[in-house]
Amino acid sequence: MDSRPPNLLLLLLTCLLHFWQYARGQSSYTIDTVGLMILPNSTVLSGTPVILRCEVKVSHDNIPHLTHTFQLTRDDVLIDSSTTGKDLIDYELNPARAADSGSYECRVTVKDKSKASYSQKLNVTGLQTPILYLNKTTPYESEEFIATCSAPEEKGSLNFRFFQRFRNGDSLKIKQPAPTGNSSETTLVLRSIGDSHLYCDYEVNLVSGARRSKSSKEIQVVVKGLHISPIMNVLPATEVYEGVIIEVVCKVVNPPKNIEVFLTRDRRILKQAPVSLSYLFTAQEGDSGELVCKAESGNVQKETYKTITVKELFSKPRLTVNPMDIFEGDRFKLTCSVSIYVPESISNDSIKFSIYKDNVKLPCADTYITKAHPSKNGNYTCKAQAASVTHSFVKESQKVVVKAKVPVSKPMLSVVGGTLVLGKRFQLLCHSDNGTLPIVYTLHTPERRNEVIVVSKPGERAIFNSSAIYKTSDLNGFLCHVKNSQNRAPMTGLGQQLLRSIIIEPVSKPVLTMLPGAGGISEGQDVTLVCSVQRGTLPISFTWYHTDTEAALAFQTANELEGSYSIRNVRGEHRGGYYCVSTNLVNETKQSHTVMIGVKMAGWKKGLIAVIIFFVLLILALILIVAFKRRLLLFKRKRTGELSVQPAPKRSG
């Protein structure tokens, strides 16, 4: 027997089991609890030191060097993460500010297991009063200066706002820059002259909502007026005739330092100078308008306005063309003229005219007459030159484009597709090879109905839909008028041109005739079936059919109005109904009425049958006679025998 104590054996087995589990890496553990505490309290004043303490409790089977990963979040945003062998960590907020307010949570991860604490809310009350700084407290109107609003003790991104309070107590928010941290520097501009007060505040945006700080200490600002309004003089007057020299003086009286003046018109700078300027120019057509004299010192601007009017001595020349509607081969006239407004300064005799084609001067004065031709097409202008006592003028007219139109040529009438079928609707094309667009096409029909089509784009065609005609002669009733000018007679296309088209007449209903036609048809005779039509364009196709069969008996294409089909040696099976079908290029099939053929027996067959019947009857008669005689003979014999054996009558005794 084993003398060792049983508890020693049990201890040995336990050690071996632990050793085996450790060797296989299958240690056992569980996270019991994860706790989060906020010290000293969950609600504190701004500036109070706060400790966030996270503690974990883990049960395990003596796992050596067990580590814990702590993750601390505020409003689901990670703010701290650390890995340690300790079961407790402290995270300090020293000092705590309003931006630290929120919902905190601690999550601990041990190997492949994780557990989170309950959420704890921290509320930090109170905000630092902001500090306002201005680099200038006595700016000029519209002058820029720098303002800084800060809360250096606060954390996070703060929304700063700048306000202006007026004498009457009203406040106006004048600027709100984008958030930049716990300080904001911006540029301010005040345009109202006088004193007012500036102050600022800020907001902290938290998950629970925005919190607003108190207002900063107010700073008095005195806005001084900058007396730099310029003076502008226009000499000799603001209303002058063209050619007069105008002087514009723009200046500032008693100017401060660093001042500039500008003279502008239609947002274009005419001249720029310090303090004052003088600008000379010769008044011309188009110079009328508003002049602006602007004085500028830093960001401060003052403006003065004057309107000048420049009147013309004579008008801008006008180039006219007659007639307006020019066709090749026509004569046309260009005339250059002006209207004189000041006869005492400009006389009509002193004006010289010139006409230009494509910027090349023509050998003429105020009138140019020529014949329209492609070489005469182009851009025409005219110039008028005149001189007053003080100035010489050259004015040019607006451009006149001359492009002679091409008259329409004689139109051609044709059938669309080239083929016309009598009795069916068709389309007609009326076309002129030459002519400037737009071209008006008018079709006159035999029914005295007019249809108009205007062709105004290249590639368009004048195609008319026409009702059916039934005779070729009806084509003569069509007429096409074409014109591209109201002042010219139309060109005409005649309907006779349509006769050049392929004209197809559908076949009429065929008539089937049997030859010979009198009396009946006897076996052995020949029969001809003639299929004929009264009308139809050649060639015509004829087809013959028997009413008892679907297949055609015969087919024939003829260059005449009839066709024939012959049946040789007629027999009994040829009797029955026959009809024919006709068609031509129109592919319209027409069918005749049915003709019945009856076949009589041949004469020799009738005689043979008569002879046979005679002999049959004769034989039957002989047979009957022989049979009658034989029966009569037998009757007589029987009668004779009966008489010979008749007993004698008995005698009475």
In order, the DSSP letters of 161-226 are EEEEE-TTS-EEEEE-PPP-SSEEEEEEE--S-EEEEEEEEEEEEETTEEEEPPPPPPEEEEEBP-
- How would residue 634 be classed by pLDDT, with cut points 50, 70 and 90? confident
Residue 513 neighbours by CB under 8 Å, 6+ apart: 529, 530, 532, 595
Return the bridge partners of 502, or none.
419
Task: Let me know: does 207 contact 279? Beta carbons within 8 Å.
Answer: no
Through-space distance between the first and last CA atoms of the chain, rounded to whole angstroms: 176
73 and 81 Cβ atoms separated by less than 8 Å = no
In whole angstroms, give the CA distance from residue 284 to residue 313.
Answer: 10
- Which region among 76-80, 516-520, 521-525 has the lowest average model confidence (pLDDT)? 516-520
> What region does 265 belong to: left with phi over 0, alpha with psi -120 to 50, or beta?
beta
Q: How far apart are CA 320 and CA 400, in angstroms?
A: 8
Whether residue 456 has pLDDT greater than 80: yes
The more confidently predicted of residues 609 and 459 is 459
Q: What is the mean pLDDT of the chain?
A: 88
Alpha helix locations (H) across 496-575?
Answer: none
DSSP type of residue 49: -
How far apart are alpha carbons 297 and 198 in whole angstroms?
24
pLDDT band, residue 616 (cuts 50/70/90): confident
Q: Other CB atoms closer than 10 Å to residue 258's CB: what's the count?
A: 9
pLDDT at residue 611 is higher than 80? no
pLDDT for residue 601: 66
| C-alpha span between 638 and 632 (Å, rounded) | 10
Instruction: Say what the pLDDT of residue 525 is.
Output: 87
| Structural domains of the chain, with CATH | 29-125 (2.60.40.10), 131-223 (2.60.40.1930), 230-311 (2.60.40.10), 318-402 (2.60.40.10), 412-504 (2.60.40), 510-600 (2.60.40.10)
Give the separation between CA 404 and CA 485, rounded to whole angstroms: 12
Among 18-22, 401-405, 516-520, which stretch is predicted with the lowest mean pLDDT? Answer: 18-22
Instruction: Round to whole Å and give the CA distance between 348 and 340.
Output: 7
pLDDT tens digit sequence for 229-277? 899 999 999 999 888 899 999 999 888 888 999 999 999 999 999 989 9
Least confident of 15-29, 501-515, 566-580: 15-29
- C-alpha angle 397/399/404, rounded to 5°? 135
310 strand-pairing partners: 240
Q: What's the burial of 455, exposed, middle or buried (CB within 10 Å: 0-12/13-18/19+)?
A: buried
CB-based contact 258:271 (threshold 8 Å): no
Q: Report which listed range, 24-38, 288-302, 533-547, is most confident.
A: 533-547
- pTM of the full structure: 0.48
Q: What is the pLDDT of residue 23?
A: 46
Query: Mean pLDDT across the stretch 172-196?
Result: 92
**Cβ atoms of 416 and 497 closer than 8 Å:** no
Helix (H, G, I), strand (E, B) or coil at 12: helix
Tokens representing 42 are 């969950």
CB atoms closer than 10 angstroms to residue 632: 10
Q: Which amino acid is at 176?
A: Q
Q: Are strands 231-235 and 245-251 parallel, antiparallel or unpaired?
A: antiparallel
**What is each CA distance from 433 to 65, 419, 436, 440, 489, in whole angstroms?**
106, 22, 10, 14, 17
* Percentage above 70 pLDDT, the chain: 92
Q: Is the pLDDT of residue 580 over 90?
A: yes
pLDDT of residue 24: 47
Does residue 355 register a pLDDT over 50? Answer: yes
pLDDT of 12 reads 58
* Structure letter (DSSP) for residue 349: G
- Report strand pairing: 194-206 vs 158-165: antiparallel
Structure tokens at 113: 């297991």
Confidence of residue 2 (pLDDT cuts 50, 70, 90): very low
> Tell me, what's the pLDDT at 347?
73
Predicted confidence (pLDDT) at residue 364 exceeds the cutoff of 60: yes
Of the CA atoms within 13 Å of residue 459, those in its CB half-sphere come to 0
pLDDT tens profile 540-572? 999 999 998 889 999 999 999 999 999 998 888
